Amino acid sequence: MAGEAASALGLSLAVLAERPDDAACAVAAEVLPGSPLVEAEFRALAERCRVVTFDHEQVDLDIVATLVAEGHPIYPGVPTLELAVDKARMRAALVAAGVAVPAHLVIEPGPGVDAGSAIAEFGAVHGWPLVLKTARGGYDGKGVWTIGSEAEAREVIAPLSGTLLVEELVALDAELAVMVARRPSGETVAWPAVETAQVGGVCREVLIPGRLPADVTEAAGILGRQVADIAGAVGVLAVELFWSKGRLLVNEIAARPHNSGHWTIEGAVTSQFENHLRAVLDLPLGSTSAAHSQVASVNIFGGDDGGNPRDLLASGLSHVGAHVHLYGKEAKPGRKLGHVTVCGDNAEEVREQAWSAALALGTPHPVGLPLPDGLQHKGEFPS
């Protein structure tokens, strides 16, 4: 999707890809084979480009630092990536800046450290169940566990190495996300905060503006910009928030275009992808205003039957007004394969239309999330 935005602006995109069938290769002017984890391959990209940016966080910070020291502009930079790749460091930076986050404990592995006992102590204070996360490498619910007892904790952590983050299971009234774009100068804009629905740690739908009162979503926007400043972000940054007992808590950040901002392609004046490119190129940022009063965006996943939504495209497109995005990926159960956005002026209607099209494209039923009235589904969401 960043490639589509690059094309519109007449920018030439080169992609560093480990596999030539990576979806991003299809829209890139140039494909360099390689991995950002191999210094020479990353350097070849940096030497080819005016600026380098990322669509994931699986980067080696030492390599990035080396290339930046050589004079290659790489955004987001090392200080931001350090927070984005490590939930423990991110939490520490937010706490240091006075930002509210869930109660948590960082457990560094080492000789004499009994992580099981530390988790048990945390549970005794903050209650069970609690949430256990690996500080690095998790996404879309991977690397995250809900733990009911010390015994369960010991079982889960046995095969793990690396830093652990233990946190209270926050009583959620809602989940929100804010997308922010920030230039090297610090100029920062935020799109309207959105309400997200996660099932099993995976975002299933995004509603704009969602059900929360305007003062809460506005506060979320301010908080989002504050977090982008703390992180020293350049490009777009996603801030995922909990709304719990009248408080906004920062859950996670992602220093890149993010699923909770896909609605901006049609729903906002400027998309997150375009503003990401503008920001990393230090170009003026576009308006982040919503272009419609109500927007709903529903993700499409692979079902247990292995079907690909591209084979159901005619069915999905029969829903007039549905903006269908397919990512050109091979279908696997539970893999995110696309999304559908509907814009309008009635919250229930846009949600119903987006789900109708997403179900027509074969996305399985979201266990734990009620569907709009009258909609039928085929399979259950893969566990």
In the complex, which residues of this chain contact a second copy (CB under 8 A)?
A: 1, 3-4, 7-10, 12-13, 25-29, 265, 269, 278, 283-284, 286-287, 291-292, 309-310, 313-314, 317-318, 320-321, 323-328, 338, 343
Q: Where are the beta strands (DSSP E) in the chain?
A: 14-17, 30-33, 104-107, 130-134, 144-147, 164-168, 174-182, 188-190, 194-199, 202-208, 235-244, 247-254, 294-301, 323-326, 336-344
Query: Shortest distance, CB of residue 86 to a second copy, whole angstroms?
Result: 33
Task: Give residue 7's Cα distance to chain centre.
Answer: 23
Query: Shortest distance, CB of residue 228 to a second copy, whole angstroms?
Result: 19
Q: Which is nearer to a second copy, 71 or 284 (CB)?
A: 284
Question: What's the N-to-C CA distance of the chain in angstroms?
Answer: 28
- Beta-bridged to residue 85, according to DSSP, are none
Backbone phi and psi for residue 338, each to the nearest 5 degrees, phi listed first: 170, -170
Query: Shortest distance, CB of residue 279 to a second copy, whole angstroms?
Result: 11
Q: Which is nearer to a second copy, 174 or 313 (CB)?
A: 313
Q: Which is nearer to a second copy, 136 or 329 (CB)?
A: 329
Strands 130-134 and 174-182: unpaired
Q: Which is nearer to a second copy, 243 or 273 (CB)?
A: 273
Torsion over CA: 309, 312, 313, 315 (sign): negative
Q: Which of 190, 312, 307 is nearest to 260 (CA)?
A: 190
**What torsion, rounded to 10 degrees, do the Cα atoms 144, 145, 146, 149 define?**
-140
Q: Tell how many helices (H) and how many strands (E) occur in the chain.
A: 12, 15
Query: Shortest distance, CB of residue 15 to a second copy, whole angstroms?
Result: 12
Query: Shortest distance, CB of residue 14 to a second copy, whole angstroms?
Result: 10
Q: Which is nearer to a second copy, 86 or 274 (CB)?
A: 274
Q: Which is nearer to a second copy, 126 or 325 (CB)?
A: 325
Query: Shortest distance, CB of residue 9 to a second copy, whole angstroms?
Result: 6
Query: Shortest distance, CB of residue 161 to a second copy, whole angstroms?
Result: 38
Q: Which is nearer to a second copy, 256 or 339 (CB)?
A: 339
Query: Shortest distance, CB of residue 127 to a second copy, whole angstroms?
Result: 44
Three-class secondary structure of residue 180 per DSSP: strand
Query: How far is Cα 68 from Cα 70, in angstroms, rounded to an integer?
Result: 5
Query: How far is Cα 307 from Cα 179, in angstroms, rounded to an integer?
Result: 32
Q: Which is nearer to a second copy, 158 or 314 (CB)?
A: 314
